[in-house]
Amino acid sequence: MTEPRPDLVIYGSPVSPFVRKVASLCLMKGVPHEVEGVNVFAPPQWFTDISPMKRIPVLRDRSVAEQGTGGTIPDSSAICAYIEKKHPAPALYPAEPMAYAEALFIEEFADTSLAAAGGLGIFRPIFFAVSKGEEPGLDKAREAWAKQLPPLFDVLETRLSGAEFFAGDVLSIADITVTQVMLQIALVAEMPLGGWPSLERHFAAMFARPEIAGPYAAADAIIRKALPSRFDLT
Rule CB under 6 A: is residue 72 a binding residue for ligand GSH? no
Rule CB under 6 A: is residue 126 a binding residue for ligand GSH? no
Rule CB under 6 A: is residue 107 a binding residue for ligand GSH? no
Rule CB under 6 A: is residue 77 a binding residue for ligand GSH? yes
> Binding ligand GSH by CB under 6 A: which of 8, 14, 18, 73?
18
Displacement of CA 118 from its chain's centroid (Å): 11
Rule CB under 6 A: is residue 40 a binding residue for ligand GSH? yes
The stretch near ligand GSH (CB under 6 A) out of 54-62, 87-95, 194-202, 203-211 is: 54-62
When the beta carbons of 205 and 222 are compared against ligand GSH, the nearer one is 222
In the bound complex, what is the minimum distance in angstroms from residue 40's beta carbon to ligand GSH? 4
> Binding ligand GSH by CB under 6 A: which of 11, 14, 16, 114?
16
> Binding ligand GSH by CB under 6 A: which of 33, 35, 73, 76?
76
When the beta carbons of 191 and 219 are compared against ligand GSH, the nearer one is 219
Q: Is 134 left (phi over 0), alpha (psi -120 to 50) or beta?
A: beta
Rule CB under 6 A: is residue 113 a binding residue for ligand GSH? no
When the beta carbons of 43 and 71 are compared against ligand GSH, the nearer one is 43
The stretch near ligand GSH (CB under 6 A) out of 71-79, 146-154, 168-176, 213-221 is: 71-79
> Binding ligand GSH by CB under 6 A: which of 75, 102, 157, 175?
75
Written as one string, the DSSP assignment of 179-192 is HHHHHHHHTTB---
CA angle 163, 169, 172 (to 5 degrees): 105
Segment holding 162, helix H or strand E? none
The stretch near ligand GSH (CB under 6 A) out of 10-18, 82-90, 153-161, 166-174 is: 10-18
Torsion of CA 217, 188, 121, 173, to 10 degrees: 20
Give the number of residues in contact with ligand GSH, rule: CB under 6 A: 12
Give me the residues paired with residue 167 across strands.
170
Q: Where are the beta strands (DSSP E) in the chain?
A: 8-12, 33-37, 58-61, 72-74
Q: What are phi and psi of 73, to 5 degrees?
A: -135, 120
Residues 6+ apart with CB under 8 A from 24: 176, 180, 211, 212, 214, 215
Beta-carbon count within 10 A of 123 CB: 23
CA angle 116, 225, 54 (to 5 degrees): 40
Q: Which residues bind ligand GSH (CB under 6 A)?
A: 16-18, 40, 54-57, 75-77, 111
